[in-house]
Structure 1
Amino acid sequence: MITIELIDNKKINSIIPLLKILNTSISEETLEERLSDMIKEGYQCVGAFDNDKLIGICGLWILTKYYVGKHIEPDNMMILPEYQNQKIGSKMMQWIYGYAKNNDCVASELNCYINNKAAHNFWEKESYKVIALHFQKDL
Structure 2
Amino acid sequence: MKVIELTTINEMLDQIETIRFLYPNMTVEKYKHFLSEMVPHNYTQIAVFENEVCLGITGCWSATKLWTGKYLEIDNFVVNPEHRSKGIGKILADYVEKKANEIGCSSIVLDAFTGNFGAHRFYYNQGYAPKGFHFVKILDQSKMTT
Separation (CA, whole Å) in 2 of partners of 1:18 and 1:117: 21
Instruction: Please provide the CA RMSD for this pair.
Output: 1.3
Q: Does 1:37 align with 2:34?
A: no
Q: Does 1:4 align with 2:3?
A: yes
Which runs of structure 1 show a deviation greater than 4 angstroms over 4 or more consecutive aligned residues? none
Separation (CA, whole Å) in 1 of partners of 2:55 and 2:109: 23
Separation (CA, whole Å) in 1 of partners of 2:85 and 2:117: 15
The Cα of 1:8 is off from its aligned counterpart by: 3.5
**40-49 vs 5-14, greater mean Cα deviation:** 5-14
Separation (CA, whole Å) in 1 of partners of 2:23 and 2:53: 21
For these two proteins, the number of residue pairs brought into alignment is 138
Q: 1:26 to 1:136 in 2, by over 3 A?
A: farther
The Cα of 1:98 is off from its aligned counterpart by: 0.9
- The equivalent of 1:92 in structure 2 is 92
- The equivalent of 2:49 in structure 1 is 49
Report the TM-score when normalising by structure 1.
Answer: 0.93
The Cα of 1:50 is off from its aligned counterpart by: 0.5
Which segments of 5 or more consecutive residues in structure 2 lack a partner in the other structure? 140-146
Give the secondary structure class of the aligned counterpart of 1:121: helix
Give the secondary structure class of the aligned counterpart of 2:56: strand
Separation (CA, whole Å) in 2 of partners of 1:111 and 1:26: 20
Separation (CA, whole Å) in 1 of partners of 2:21 and 2:70: 31
Which segments of 5 or more consecutive residues in structure 1 lack a partner in the other structure? none
The Cα of 1:138 is off from its aligned counterpart by: 2.6
Separation (CA, whole Å) in 2 of partners of 1:5 and 1:26: 22
Separation (CA, whole Å) in 1 of partners of 2:53 and 2:18: 12
Summarize the alignment of residues 1-139 of structure 1 with structure 2, pairs less than 5 Å apart. Answer: 2-9=1-8, 10-139=10-139
The percentage of counterpart residues that share the same residue type is 26
